[in-house]
Structure 1
């Protein structure tokens, strides 16, 4: 059965488990941090259970970054087809990548906050481009089960609001916690949570 045949309400997206070495740092598309092997396996078991319960195809799409891809590798061991989809990657923070947030010039952060959608943080990717990637996945998903990132899920939550304007920093949705599942239709948090 094609995943495109599923209504949006059946799409589930998880934020990856807690990455090693991320505390206090700007972690985006260029910073490929690992996750604890046990946490990746635990999330994979949880996704497998949700797929079984919701009768979803045994296909998972993940970001190419290790913190998501490692969950997909476990699912592949469990008999799933694993698709790596670059559209699921985190926002690219350019020169800010991997740096401590407290070491990034406050004037640069303030400039980004004033124009969240149009300013490229650290010369990386604009939030407008992230929103376009999320919309593309919504229109043409690579799977009903996704493993992605906090920024990606915040962008999806913004799009689900149906706002005609660009988001401001004050309006930007908070990212779900590590290991949290979000339903793609309304992106409201579900009770499907694993320890992250």
Structure 2
């Protein structure tokens, strides 16, 4: 199966803000820029899945129309990790001891009392496994950088805890609107 992973466009949020599970809008100009670039790069008439958060869902719905893909399938398993009380706080305002505690236990620590990377890995793995079992030749997934890193870790057949650790250790280098193609 060929999997087209797309990170959402840049949302309306200040730089250096923790916003994992927060539902943020995207400026219309940014939405249009990413939509135009993706229409030229993605195949038509292929199933399209997305995180239900609007920074993904609005793009996915527009892409589904433009690519004649049928309605986009909004799947909560593709949402970004929730950072609990850290959400919408500047990273510099989060106590250093809390960030260090997360760094010491990347898999199990629940930043801000939210979700841990293992929980995110388990739901992303479940989505990935369901997609593989569907025996589709191709699928497009509009999601988040964290979700994309976890989807890439699925490629190695690791159990969720190892998958979570691998994804958590990957540098965050996925740009807004970036397309990554995986052959599963």
Band of TM-score, shorter chain: 0.7 to 0.9
1:123 aligns with 2:121: no
Is the deviation greater in 98-107 or in 17-26?
17-26
- When normalised by structure 2's length, the TM-score is 0.83
Equivalent position SS for 1:140:
helix
In the other structure, the counterpart of 2:181 is 183
Mapped contact 2:51–2:78 kept (Cα < 8 A): yes
Query: In 2, Cα distance between the equivalents of 1:83 and 1:121?
Result: 29
Structure 2 residues not aligned, in runs of 5+? none
Is the deviation greater in 173-182 or in 156-165?
156-165
1:157 aligns with 2:152: yes
Larger RCO (CA under 8 A, 6+ residues apart): 2
In the other structure, the counterpart of 1:3 is none
From 111, 119, 123, the equivalent of 1:133 is 123
* Cα gap change, 1:87 to 1:60, in 2 (>3 Å): same
- When normalised by structure 1's length, the TM-score is 0.78
The alpha carbon displacement at 1:32 in A equals 1.2
More helix by share: 2
* Cα gap change, 1:34 to 1:21, in 2 (>3 Å): same
Is the deviation greater in 11-20 or in 76-85?
76-85
Equivalent position SS for 1:13:
strand
CA offsets per residue over residues 118-177 of structure 1, 9 Å max, x none? 111111001001111221121113870011001111222333344563517973343411
- Residues 10-159 of structure 1: pairs in structure 2 closer than 5 A: 10-29=2-21, 31-52=22-43, 57-78=45-66, 79-80=68-69, 81-141=71-131, 144-159=139-154
> RMSD value over aligned CA atoms?
2.4
Q: How many residues align?
A: 174
Query: In 2, Cα distance between the equivalents of 1:26 and 1:96?
Result: 6
Structure 1 residues not aligned, in runs of 5+? 1-6, 187-196
The alpha carbon displacement at 1:47 in A equals 3.1
* Cα gap change, 1:20 to 1:67, in 2 (>3 Å): same
Query: In 2, Cα distance between the equivalents of 1:184 and 1:22?
Result: 31
CA offsets per residue over residues 61-88 of structure 1, 9 Å max, x none? 1111111111022124424321111111
